[in-house]
Structure 1
Amino acid sequence: MPDERSTHPSEIRRLLGDGDPSPVTVINPEGHSPFLLIGDHAGNAIPTVLGTMGLTEDDRHRHIAWDIGTAQLGDELARMLDATFIHQHYSRLVIDCNRAPDRADAFPETSDGSTISGNAGLTAEDRARRIGEIHEPYQRAIADAIEAKGRDTILVSLHSFTPRMDGVDRPWHIGVLHDGANDRFALAMLRTLEARQHLIVGDNEPYVMDDTDYTVPRHAFSRSMPYVELEVSQSELARNGGVARWSQVLTECLRACQSA
């Protein structure tokens, strides 16, 4: 059985302590590429004061806690593209940075059969601490990078998905998500990936970009900014050389779409 969380959330005055990682990391902030890479779910850390949140060690390392492989993929793409990569360190189970903070599923109480007891009975103050110390610093870093890069920025949101969910296989190697708002670049990426006939490419699969998404709409839609949200199968990234292979594929496709 997992250990109980060390402190009830309502007893916490500050969420992140001196030994906890920063909520956001910016890789290659001076990158010259117009691409701005982001990783909403790249980390699986839990603030020390929250203990395990009732999670087993296995749960903390499986797909419910984070998008496995996206930190490594983003690091490699940042190097190959000379792009800036912004990602946050904390598990989506602490707060989901790709959800509006006023949504209930920003603080999930269950996920794919697991109970997250550390999210039961959260008060408004509990939520406010997670928003103020994790969610907003991450979103602010993205806004600051866009402001610094200027109007030619292309937002690339990196995610990964489990190849089997709720007992259903997901055959796609990669999915391209878009929502009809200035989605010319996203659709160009979809066509470019589909042209690689060895790939199974999902068009708004295995997820649909809709009103559950937060980061891309917040930053790209209001600015009419070109964007693409990519979902790569975790089985692909976990293969020997998988991150290197997908970094090469995505670098080639992103550059082709930029040129076009």
Structure 2
Amino acid sequence: MVLDGGGETSSLLGDEDAPPVVEQNPSGRSPFLLTSDHFGRAIPRRLGDLGLPESELTRHIALDIGIAGVARALSERLDAHLIAQRYSRLVIDCNRPFTSPGSIPLISEATTIPGNEGLAREAVEARRREVFGPYHRRITEVIDQRLRDGIPTVLLSLHSFTPVYAGIKRPWHVGTLYQRDSRLPPLLLSALRAQGDLVVGDNEPYAVSNETDYTIPVHGEARSLMNTGIEIRQDLIGDQSGQGQWADRLGAIFTEIEATLRAQGLLPV
């Protein structure tokens, strides 16, 4: 086990812990491959509560609130394969490079994470090996198999964001995040803006970069896949009704985008 404060033995996850990878609809026929890096808020039993009260473990610092429901419903709407990660981003953030200070955060927003202080190298490696590693290996395996089988693949990285961060209100309802892909993000931005009732962020509230992100740079850009990140404001998807509404909205949008990509010759007809 790996103990709070940096103690060490051979492993982090025990028999009582669930595996880190969550999948839905692996035989889905959609070209869209859905990922969700901050899907869950589980903490390995051997880490206890990371020294935090339950009130902190249900906040946005621990997971992307509401995105699990949206991701599952969107997987159904699109008939798309979903690969998600069930452990809290406070254990290890599966959308951060290891060199990022946010990989295993010592502080998130204004909250200090006692269970992440003073970790021994072996404790850090256990989190990387047993949580981060299996999740990203599975995404790699799925993309490899799809490419071998000639299945077109478009990466959608699903996230949600808090309406207020560090006391600053965020006006956007939804944002499109990207770095180098000039094919998919413009189509998504146009479709979202055409809805008429949304404040749409263009690389807001975050922008993708190699220094701050992992999933899009590694699985999208490095593989030359069309890709985009999607951020939905958490107060819009805090309950099942909102999650379903956003899955319906995005399902319709991406169905139209798929048809456009096929018409443009970017996906096979």
TM over 0.5: yes
| SS of corresponding position for 1:29 | coil
Is structure 2 residue 24 aligned with structure 1 residue 27?
yes
Q: Secondary structure at the match of 2:102?
A: helix
**Which deviations, in whole Å up to 9, do the C-alpha atoms of 1:143-166 show, x marking residues without a partner?**
111122225101000000000011
User: What TM-score, normalized to structure 1?
Assistant: 0.94
Q: Does 2:171 align with 1:171?
A: yes
Counting only pairs closer than 5 Å after superposition, residues 32-47 of structure 1 correspond to structure 2 as: 32-47=29-44
Match of 1:136 in 2: 133
1:74 is aligned, of 56, 71, 82, to 71
Cα deviation, residue 97, structure 1: 0.3
- Partner Cα separation in structure 2 for residue 133 and residue 102 of structure 1: 18
From 46, 49, 61, the counterpart of 1:49: 46
* Correspondent of 2:143 among 146, 166, 184: 146
SS at match of 2:237: helix
Q: Deviations over 1:37-80 (max 9, x none)?
A: 00000010110001111111010011000001111111101111
Spell out, residue by residue over 1:190-228, the C-alpha distance to the aligned partner (whole angstroms, 9 max, x if none): 111011111110001111112301111101111210111
How far apart, CA to CA, are the structure 1 residues paired with 2:190 and 2:242? 22
Q: Which residue in 1 is equivalent to 2:202?
A: 203
**1:90 alignment partner AA:** Y
TM-score with structure 2 setting the length: 0.91
Aligned partners of 1:256, 1:169: CA distance in 2, in Å? 32
Structure-to-structure mapping, 1:1-260, within 5 angstroms = 7-150=4-147, 152-179=152-179, 181-210=180-209, 211-238=211-238, 241-260=241-260
Q: Secondary structure of the residue that 2:176 maps to in structure 1?
A: strand
Moved beyond 6 Å, runs of 4+:
none
| Distance in 1 separating the partners of 2:156 and 2:35 | 6
Gaps (5+ residues) in structure 2? 261-269
Q: CA deviation at 1:255?
A: 1.4
User: Percent identity between the aligned chains?
Assistant: 42
Amino acid paired to 2:154: I
Contact kept? 1:183, 1:227, Cα under 8 Å: no
Q: AA paired with 2:201?
A: G
SS of the residue corresponding to residue 241 of structure 1 reads helix
Deviation at 1:239?
Answer: 5.2
CA RMSD of aligned residues (A): 1.4
Count, aligned residues: 255
